[in-house]
């Protein structure tokens, strides 16, 4: 795992958890409710400080959270709320074959390179008929270099798409002094690698940006029809 996540776990926790981030509060956590309700044994891969794991545990599931960062695992254990937490890598999940009915990974695979071994592991730990729910920064509309353009010379406003097809690994300064590596891959790579492991897409969400996010990001007032998030729910073939 990239060592940056150990260094910046506290930054993540302060700005994106415990009610601090409208995209989680208004969108991601309710989507986790919708997609994970009814599963008995759930693995949260790259669980961070556990906000999705706690949410799904509150629905009645037995949840295991796995994260590569000790700083995240320590915070998750302190925040408690039902799940068990283990430190582990996406590429070597500390869970037996076929042990869970559902796996979720929220904003994690953008940091895992290569990601194919992680998908192998997810397919291994899922019982036949189980679901993998993948939350991603929308790979098409949020490709590197994408963003709102307000061209005062040509008097045009539009959403620019950055290079979509090539894989890209970039270190982004997401806040002053916080540098994190991000991996971009086209959506077909995700869908085809999942399908090769018997994980077929049965549902996809591309929600409009959350109102609380638009209130904080004025450029999105114009780009409210451009999704930031993509959710794929896949089912392992029996
Ligand atoms: C953006 S945070 C998301 C945390 C959590 N899923 C959430 O949505 O609140 C990404 C998390 O992925 C974890 N992570 C990154 N690469 C990993 C890897 N190879 N194995 C396990 N965890 C990893 C990081 O430590 C970090 O906690």
| Mean local confidence (pLDDT), 65-79 | 98
Between the CA of 145 and the centroid of ligand 1 the distance, in Å, is 23
| Mean local confidence (pLDDT), 112-130 | 98
Name the H helices within 48-115: 51-58, 70-79
| Mean local confidence (pLDDT), 13-29 | 98
Q: Say if residue 22's pLDDT is above 80.
A: yes
Q: Which helix (H) or strand (E) holds 10?
A: helix 4-16
Strands (E), 7-76: 41-45, 62-67
* Atom from ligand 1 closest to the CA of residue 5: 25
| pLDDT tens for each residue of 46-58 | 999 999 999 999 9
Contact assessment for residue 87 and residue 73, using Cβ atoms and an 8 Å cutoff = yes
200: helix, coil or strand?
Answer: strand
| pLDDT tens for each residue of 193-236 | 999 999 999 999 999 999 999 999 887 888 899 999 999 999 99
The residues spanned by each domain of the chain are 4-139+184-236
- Write out the two tokens for 89: 């890598």
Q: Which residues line ligand 1 (CB under 6 A)?
A: 1, 5, 12, 46-48, 51-52, 67-69, 72, 89-90, 106-108, 111-112
Task: Give the class (CATH, top level) of 4-139+184-236.
Answer: alpha beta
């Amino acid at each position: 795992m990239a060592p940056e996540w150990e260094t910046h776990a506290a930054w993540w926790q302060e700005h994106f958890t415990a009610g601090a981030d409208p995209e989680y509060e208004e969108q991601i956590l309710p989507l986790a409710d919708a997609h994970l309700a009814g599963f008995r044994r759930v693995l949260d891969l790259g669980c961070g400080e556990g906000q999705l794991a706690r949410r799904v545990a509150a629905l009645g599931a037995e949840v295991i959270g796995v994260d590569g960062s000790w700083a995240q695992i320590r915070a998750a254990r302190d925040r408690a709320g039902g799940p068990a937490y283990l430190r582990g890598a996406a590429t070597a999940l500390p869970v037996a074959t076929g042990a869970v009915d559902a796996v979720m990974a929220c904003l994690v695979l953008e940091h895992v390179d290569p990601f194919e071994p992680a998908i192998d592991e997810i397919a291994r730990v899922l019982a036949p008929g189980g679901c993998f729910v993948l939350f991603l920064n929308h790979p098409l509309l949020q490709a590197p270099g994408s963003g709102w353009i307000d061209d005062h010379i040509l008097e045009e406003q539009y959403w620019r798409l950055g290079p979509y097809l090539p894989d890209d690994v970039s270190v982004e300064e997401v806040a002053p002094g916080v540098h994190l590596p991000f991996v971009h891959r086209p959506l077909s790579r995700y869908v085809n690698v999942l399908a090769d492991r018997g994980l077929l897409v049965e549902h996809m969400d591309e929600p409009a940006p959350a109102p609380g996010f638009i209130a904080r990001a004025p450029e999105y007032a114009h780009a409210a029809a451009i999704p930031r998030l993509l959710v794929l729910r896949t089912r392992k073939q029996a």
